[in-house]
Amino acid sequence: MYTDRRNFIKKSSLVATGVTASFLFPIELLGKIRKRVGPNDRINAGLIGCNGMGFSDLSSMLKISEVHIIALCDVDENVLKKRTADLEKAGIKKPKWYKDYRKLLENKDIDVVIIGTPDHWHCLMLTDALQAGKDVYCEKPIANSIQEADIMLNYVGASDRMVQIGQWQRSQPHFVDAIDFVHSGKLGNIRLAKAWAYQGWMKPVPVIEDVPVPDGVDYNMWLGPAPQRPFNQNRFHFNFRWFWDYAGGLMTDWGVHLIDYALYGMKAGRPKSVMALGGKFAYPDDASETPDTLQTVFEYDDFSILWEHATGIDGGNYGRNHGIAFIGNLGTLVLDRNGWEIIPEEEFQGWGKEGIPKMEAQSHDTGGVSGLDLHTKNFIAAVKDRDASKLTAPIKVGYDAALVSHMGNVAFKTGNRIYWDTAANRFKEEAANELTKATYHNGWKLPMV
């Protein structure tokens, strides 16, 4: 436990890029961690999308000796070469390569599939993997539209496969402890929850010309159901996040992590209404499409949830570049990836009630525990036991966070306050409903329930 709030805030600022120690594990150390496991006890994995979080997920999963990687799938042969070289540093022999994920799913030896592709591919890949009888670890957000999220929820619900969503904070002990405190009632009546991501490391995406498809890249397979466009490096690999064809910007990138915990803490479902204001205020002339500055308000019966994001600056709420805050009558709990603290309410302690003791300031850190490692371990335990009730981030967790985040983007695109009709499970505004739909291109078909 800390008592020095300034040290806590200073430590929190070190997570400017959102990369924790979980993701910086030296791959060559895997060879020293892994133990020999008999063929009958092995869980064979295939990774689809090897460039970013997908490989971090795999690296974490390979700390579990039973997990063996036997297949890599990526549209970029250069990435396949790089990741194979990384695995060889850990003494892991070259897995079989694929550029078409459907061919990987035909491999009967694969038990578990990790989906680490851009968001616009998640729905197709997850549903196809389930039909192929695979257990799935799928990166967040679960989908690039509300319609796809609905389809995925239904597919998983009708399957006996284990599906874990990559919202690894659900497995991080200090996040769980913080929410237990929120649910204890010790903060008093909570009238507002805030979640935010201020990302100072994010620079402008420069405007560059379209170029021929690089050697070794199957660009048509990368596009998949997205609209046909000339190849542009801005839209490829990491920066796909900032283009509507493939993703939903910071709202769905960081938002699903942090809004998830705002929803969890407030025991909240669908909001009554949503409104969003923002735009490209930091980098108005760069190549990205999604807003670099956004404030979104989700209305509930007796509280609100506020989402904020901004690129190019780190000056977020409470001196943190990311986090969730629960603002109660007796105090505020502030939570981020480094820990959590309680800030007592000084002015109106007690709110007219006698005998309510003053809260004490508290701070708690992570204890050095890797949330990602606990999350992948939780997934593999559920796979081994065939018990989906053990999953800390099942499809419903991913669905709820993605749905609310996409609702925020829909509100931003309409430019209006939009209202949710709970009975009809749709917006009351038809223009908003149109923005919940997925349109597939290039011969790809939206999975049907």
- pTM for this model (two decimals): 0.92
Q: How far is CA 188 from the centre of its chain?
A: 30
**Which 3 state secondary structure label does DSSP give 88?**
helix
* 356 pLDDT higher than 70: no
The rounded distance, in Å, linking the Cα atoms of 24 and 56 is: 8
226, 441 contact by CB (below 8 A): yes
Phi, psi (degrees; rounded to nearest 5) at 198? -110, 115
- The per-residue pLDDT for range 300-319, each reduced to its tens digit, is 999 999 999 999 999 999 99
310, 142 contact by CB (below 8 A): no
CA angle 286, 293, 57 (to 5 degrees): 85
* 199: nearest Cα among 321, 349, 357: 321
Four-point Cα dihedral 209, 210, 216, 222, nearest 10: 120
State the pLDDT at residue 2.
Answer: 35
Q: Could you give all domains of the chain from N- to C-terminal order, each with its CATH number?
A: 16-168+373-394 (3.40.50.720), 171-369+399-434 (3.30.360.10)
CA angle 153, 158, 163 (to 5 degrees): 60
- The per-residue pLDDT for range 145-164, each reduced to its tens digit, is 999 999 999 999 999 999 99
* 224 pLDDT higher than 90: yes
Average pLDDT value for residue range 350-377: 73
Q: Of 222-231, 256-265, 287-296, 355-364, give the lowest mean pLDDT range.
A: 355-364
Structural tokens at position 206? 């420069």
The rounded distance, in Å, linking the Cα atoms of 288 and 385 is: 44
Alpha helices in 184-254 (DSSP H): 219-223, 250-253
The rounded distance, in Å, linking the Cα atoms of 329 and 331 is: 6
If pLDDT is split at 50, 70 and 90, which confidence band does 28 have?
confident
If pLDDT is split at 50, 70 and 90, which confidence band does 241 have?
very high
- The per-residue pLDDT for range 163-217, each reduced to its tens digit, is 999 999 999 999 999 999 999 999 999 999 999 999 999 999 999 999 999 999 9
- Name 244's Cβ contacts closer than 8 Å, sequence gap at least 6: 289, 290
Give the strands of the sheet with 43-48, arranged side by side: 96-98, 67-73, 43-48, 112-115, 135-138, 163-165
State the pLDDT at residue 13.
Answer: 42
